[in-house]
Structures are given as structure tokens and as C-alpha cells.
Amino acid sequence: MFRALVLSACLIGIVLGLAMTAMQAVGVTPILLAAEQYEVSHGPQAVAGAHHDHGHAGQAGHHHDETAWAPADGTERLFYTAVSNILAGIGFAAILLVVMNQLHERGRLMMTAGRGLMMGGLCYLVVFVAPSLGLPPEIPGAAATALESRQLWWLATVILAAAGLGLLILARGWQRGLGGLLLLAPYAWVPAHEGPLFSHPDPQAVAALTELHHSFIWASGLTNLAFWLLAGLLSVIALQRLTGIAQGHEEARD
Amino acid sequence: MSATPVSSSSRISRSGSRIASAYQQGAVVLFGALILYAVGFLPMNAAHNAAHDTRHSLVFPCH
């Protein structure tokens, strides 16, 4: 079972990662690159002293350690993004496959394409919508609170949303109320940034970044929706094969 | 009544295989979680830079 599930997750991850890379190249990456333009040129100081080394460790908000390795823009960056997308796809698919398999074993999930899309949609709500309600999708250059607290909040929110949504759908009676509570709990405290989102000194740049930010929310929202619907569908297909439903059908037809 | 009689030994082996399967599926979840940690959360600079666009697209907290 371990081998079969991991192998399926890898295959699904490759398809998901490549699809994600294609969608990103169209909708998401251009926005990230445009936002990074404002990030690198750090406003008037950088324009005035163009030959100045960017040693701005004290800059508020976002800053990259420029001595660290980073893939070069272009093909190399695309390659590493594709690899990371595939790995993320494998990771998500592995967990989704086990959850769906468990639900199927307990008779709570039929392995049909429609149910696969539904599971994908629920994953979209849990992994994208739930954390985005507190911490909206971010573009480079946006100010934010300490990374660790946001990562912890993200993780807690996704786990609570999964548990809460699961209880709401599967449980009965008072346990449903508990599910609703779990869903809402993370928003009691959100590590959101206080004050303006973009601290760029040029108001024109701030306007441009704000617009980029809005289109990024749309782009990432749609990309993630497609990613998860595809993940749910592919997981159903994989589990049909693993549990022999598809083979049974084929034999019955023959 | 309509249930087919199941010998106790096969019942034991079935519950044993169910536990083994539960362990294996737990291991699959762990495998997925470790990969996601590496892609989405690893604080190393090189890991962040390589997975930068993925982290932003999947709205993992970044920077």
C-alpha cells in the first residue's frame, strides 16, 4: 500500500506540478516579476546612487540576502519553480490520497469524478481560502509581520479548517457546532500587518503595487482552484485503479 | 445470519493487515508532510529562493 500510494502521489504530483507551472507562467509569474521591479530598485535612493551597492540590511519589510544562492531569472528560475511545484504537488497528493482512501474505506466517499472534484474544491477551501481570509496572497514588496508567526498561523489554520470542515460534513448534532467553531477559531487572532501594506516611498509605485496585488489575488485564486480540482480528479482516478474499481468495471464490460 | 462465517485466524490476519495498512498510510502522510515542509517552510535561504514562486503561488507565507 505504501509503495502504491507514494508512486501514485509522485505521478499525480508530476502532472499537477507541470500544470501549475504552465498556469503560473501565464497568470502568476508576470505579476511577481513586476512586483520585484519595485523591490530591487528601492525607490529614489537607489535611482540617485545607481552604482551603490545594495547593502540595505535595515530596510523595513522585505529583503533578500543577496549573498545567498538564487536561481538566475529565466530558464533556471523556471526550472526550479517547476521542480518545487512538482514536489508540492507530490506532497499534497500523498496526503489527499490517504484522506480519500480512508473516507472510501469507511464508506463515506464514492470514487466518482464528481466526488473527486468535490474533494478538490474542499481542499481549495481548506488550503487556499481559509488561510487567505486572514493573510491575503502576497506579492514581493508587501510588508508583513514576522515569518515564523505567519507560518505557524497558516499551518494551524489549514489543520483547523480541515478538521472543522470534515466535522461539518461528516458529523451529526453538536459535533457539527464544534466543526464550525474550529473553522472560525483561527480568525480570533491573525498575525496581520498593521499599517500600510507597501512602504515604497513613491506613491505611484504604491498604486502600481496595490493594483498588482489585486490582480495577484485573482490570479493565485484561479490557479489554485484549477490545481485542486485537478488534484481531486487525479486522486480519484489513482484510487480507482488502486482499489480495483476501474478494473472491475472493465472486466464486467468484457 | 446471512453473513458468511469467518474463521478466527483469518479475522486476526485481516485486522493485522488493517493495522499494517494504517501504519503505511500514516507513513504516506508523513512523507507528504515532509516534502511540503521542505518546499513551503524550510527557512534556508537557498530553499526559499529556489521555491520562491511556488511559495507565492500556493500562498505559503513567504519572506
What is the tens place of the pLDDT at every residue in A41-75?
544 443 333 333 333 333 334 455 667 899 999 89
User: Using CA atoms, how far apart are residues A90 and A9, in angstroms rounded to an integer?
Assistant: 5
What is the tens place of the pLDDT at every residue in A107-158?
999 999 999 999 999 999 999 999 999 999 999 888 888 999 999 999 999 9
pLDDT of residue A199: 84
What is the tens place of the pLDDT at every residue in A215-236?
999 999 999 999 999 999 999 9
In chain B, which residues have their Cβ closer than 8 Å to the Cβ of A93?
32
Its ipTM equals 0.85
Closest-CA residue of chain B to A132: B59
CA of A58 to nearest chain B CA: how many angstroms apart?
15
What are φ and ψ of residue A65, in 5° steps?
-75, 110
Range in A98-107, B5-14, B19-28, B54-63 with the lowest mean pLDDT: B5-14
User: Using CA atoms, how far apart are residues A161 and A169, in angstroms rounded to an integer?
Assistant: 12
In chain A, which residues have their Cβ closer than 8 Å to the Cβ of B58?
88, 127-128, 220, 224, 227
Mean local confidence (pLDDT), A103-109:
94
Joined together, the cell numbers standing for residue A80 give: 526550479
Task: Give percent above pLDDT 90 in chain A.
Answer: 73
Write the residue in B35, B43, B46 that is nearest to A91 by C-beta: B35
pLDDT of residue B6: 52
Q: Which residue from A97, A91, A164, A154 is spatially nearest to A127, judged by alpha carbons?
A: A154
pLDDT of residue A51: 39
Give the H or E element holding residue A234. helix A203-243
